[in-house]
Chain A
Amino acid sequence: QSALTQPASVSGSPGQSITISCTGTSSDVGGYNYVSWYQQHPGKAPKLMIYDVSNRPSGVSNRFSGSKSGNTASLTISGLQAEDEADYYCSSYTSSSPWVFGGGTKLTVL
């Protein structure tokens, strides 16, 4: 059960847009539309931001959006705000084990 591949860090200035990638295989990201994204602030529990590739739970800002192409899923945050600084994790259903997470990406708002 290899973890999905995410960049270790990304950064952006307030108001800009950033994209975090999540690369897997045809056995996980590419094979199912069951990719989710979670935001985790230091010392806090993760929070669901996107599920099933591109769906936003109620209460999540529409500045957050998700997409997928082939074996790579992406989380885009537009109009970057200071409060968006956090760790972000992707996850996917897999054929070998129900769920796998990415290694996480630290977002820094400059």
Chain B
Amino acid sequence: EVQLVESGGVVVQPGGSLRLSCAASGFTFDDYTMHWVRQAPGKGLEWVSLISWDGGSTYYADSVKGRFTISRDNSKNSLYLQMNSLRTEDTALYYCAKDRVLDYWGQGTLVTVSS
């Protein structure tokens, strides 16, 4: 059974940093592209970032480019999102999702940026 479990979400002040993690199981992790997608409270889905199976290619939404860094450790079946220079508008539930078509999603981890 495919499982994706996000962690690392907390309350952080504007300008702060945070690293989210996504632990994957139930599939061959290093075969797949992985995504981060976020959802602000009461709002729609916003694609954030993706990383290729080997970590060699990464892409970002304009809203986070230069502030967020996606990475993965295939030996640990884990995906990460390093978030720097956080803004109040980054407050959201952050999901990791598997494969180009985002066929499996975790339950999300909540990031709150507030002073």
Contact = CB atoms under 8 A, between A and B. Distances in A.
Nearest to A50: B101
A47 interface: yes
A98 B50 contact: yes
State which size class the interface on B falls in: 20 to 34
B10 interface: no
B101 A52 contact: yes
- State the main secondary structure of chain A at its contact with B: strand
Given A51-B101, A99-B35, A46 B62 contact: no
Nearest to B60: A97
Contact of A91 (B59, B60, B102, B104): B102
A64 interface: no
Interface string A7-25: 0000000000000000000
The 4 closest A-B pairs by CB, nearest first: A104-B44, A51-B101, A45-B105, A99-B47
Interface of A: 1, 3, 34, 36, 38, 40, 45-48, 51-52, 57, 87, 89, 91, 97-104
